[in-house]
Amino acid sequence: MKKRICCLLVLWSIGLMSQIVSESKSYKEIDSLLSQLDIYNSSSTDFYMLLDRSRGEGYEEIRGKIYLKLSVYYRKKKMIDSAFYNINKAMFICRENDFKPGLHYSYLSLGNLYGELQNYEKSLEYFLKAYDFYKKGKDTERFKNVLQVLTINIASTYSLLGDYEKARTYYYNHINDPLFDKKSRYGIQLYQNIGTNYKREGDYDNAVLWLKKGLESAIKNNYSTIKNDILLDLCKTFLIQNKNKEAKYFYDRIDTETYNWDKDYYLGVIYLGMNRLKVAESLLRQNVKGKQSALKRMNTFLKLSEVYSKRQMWEKAFNSKERYYRIKDSIGIERNKSVIKNNELGFKLIEEEMSNKQLETDNKLLQSKNRIQFYVLIGVVIFSFGGVFCFFLLIKNLRINKKLKELKKVERELLEDKVQLRENELNMTLIAISNRQKMLSEIKKEVNQLSNKDSQVKKLRNKINTLIINGNNLTAISDRIESRYPGMVTKLRDMYPNLSDTEIKYCLFVKLNLSTKETANILGVTPDTVKTSRSRIKKKMNIPESLTLGMYLEQL
């Protein structure tokens, strides 16, 4: 008898070990196939096939990795809605299963995604979240590489936000790191980034100094593409300073046969600065005939209008400037439409997914409750047959209760994710409106510089004013504000009937935690106007000096 039991135990152990080995091989195989998939050359079908396999095998960590890679895949294809959907799926799985590296790598990807949408505040927020984790993380090659990428991303984002001093701090700390390789492609691009930061700041001497360092290293280490990029940056920097001879010197060093760039445009701009107007006109007209993006065509028409103005060919100058405005307006409209459409579609998909998860959780809760009732009933029936069975049922009941708590926790986290998604949707809508108002304000400034005698200019100015006023009505976000703070507008009107519509609008933006600068951008006013309006509202609402407007609205 003992021999039989020993044999059974040995066979059971062998079967268990073989199952573990088989699962390990399957896991490594899927992980290896995922690492071989290239986001540039693979199709989405390849990713979804691996996703189905990992879901069937129950490999949640690999599922998170696949969703992360899919988000990058769709981001490279400019499919922002799908990128948002997959990054949120990855974050949900990583948070649910406590995969901290995957979660913080999701923050890095989300920062890149917001960066492409030019929402640099949100981008910086997620970069810094990821940076704190990787800075305190494992001392491995992978963690170090991610930390280097994050350092550059944070520095570049500070630079884009206009905080050049913080950007320099991150750049210089990175250069002084003993692991930093100045001869690598990455190192040369860092020199270029520092030069770009100085150029944005208006410190052109330092910009040229760092760009030349990068150029010297690129030539020495035979990086031809980066060399041409830096030469073009130097050309642009000198053009900004109206140093056309220096710009021409670096322009002539660019390898025009292997480098794809707007050579006719830049040479035309150089000759425009040298007052060689006929040559400049010829080059710019030739450039506008080629296959170009709308943005490049817009800039070309702007320079052509300068050429014609200098040649006193006023009609052609006016026509070129008019085409410049038309293209600029169409770019802004299409960009805003695309951002809003992509965001709405992306968040709709995510909400549907969360709704399905909610239904699954409800079903599991119902099944668990039914199972509890069943076991309790069986317990009552068989109680008289022995305490052993009762003890077994008690243990089973405790396990089910534990599972119920876990399911409730999942339900609560799903609701929190849903709230976060609503927050993201509202933020993206505000960004789109803010960008539109900025662009209209810039166009208005340029139109105001044109002659007041021309009737077409007056009509154009009236149209722009109408668009700015319509943008300030904020009908695109009124429903979303009401859904987030139900009855807020009605309550403010009832309590403070002396508040105007504009003042109620300021209260809502304070409630949404928008900064003075963000509110000013959306309403098309100056930050000082926002501060004055908020102060006036406090007086109308009789708010004590010890409370801010935001603190008071939080109490409502």
331 and 457 belong to one structural domain:
yes
Q: At what angle do helices 263-273 and 224-240 cross, to 10 degrees?
A: 30
The encoded tokens of residue 449 equal 């510089």
Q: Residue 437 in contact with residue 468, Cβ under 8 Å?
A: yes
CATH number at residue 529: 1.10.10.10
DSSP class of residue 511 equals H
Instruction: Indicate whether 452 belongs to any domain.
Output: yes
369 and 434 belong to one structural domain:
yes
What is residue 21's predicted lDDT score, i.e. its pLDDT?
A: 42
Give the residue from 413, 442, 471 where a domain finishes: 471
**Environment class of residue 95 by beta-carbon count within 10 Å: exposed (0-12), middle (13-18) or buried (19+)?**
middle
366 and 459 belong to one structural domain:
yes
499 and 451 belong to one structural domain:
no
Q: Which domain holds residue 418?
A: 313-471
For 283-340, give the DSSP string.
Answer: HHHHHHHSS--HHHHHHHHHHHHHHHHHTT-HHHHHHHHHHHHHHHHHHHHHHHHHHH
What is residue 20's predicted lDDT score, i.e. its pLDDT?
A: 43
Instruction: Indicate whether 178 belongs to any domain.
Output: no
Q: Residue 417 in contact with residue 354, Cβ under 8 Å?
A: yes
How far apart CA 291 and CA 295 sit, in angstroms, is 12
Q: End-to-end CA distance of the chain: give it in Å, rounded.
A: 77
516 and 455 belong to one structural domain:
no
| pLDDT tens sequence across 302-361 | 888 888 888 898 988 888 888 888 888 887 777 666 556 555 544 554 565 566 566 657
373 and 464 belong to one structural domain:
yes
The helix or strand, by DSSP H or E, that contains position 80, with its residue range, turns out to be: helix 80-96
How far apart CA 122 and CA 130 sit, in angstroms, is 13
Q: Running along the chain, 556 residues long, what does each successive block of 10 average in pLDDT?
A: 53 48 62 72 77 76 82 82 84 84 84 85 88 77 78 89 89 79 80 90 91 90 88 90 90 82 84 87 82 80 87 88 85 69 53 59 70 70 64 76 76 64 60 65 69 66 65 55 72 87 84 82 83 89 86 82
Give the residue from 471, 504, 536 where a domain finishes: 471
Give the residue from 440, 471, 502 where a domain finishes: 471
Residue with tokens 């968040």: 347
What is residue 237's predicted lDDT score, i.e. its pLDDT?
A: 93
390 and 447 belong to one structural domain:
yes
Number of domains in the chain: 2
509 and 437 belong to one structural domain:
no
465 and 499 belong to one structural domain:
no
How far apart CA 481 and CA 145 sit, in angstroms, is 41
Residue with tokens 């103005």: 309
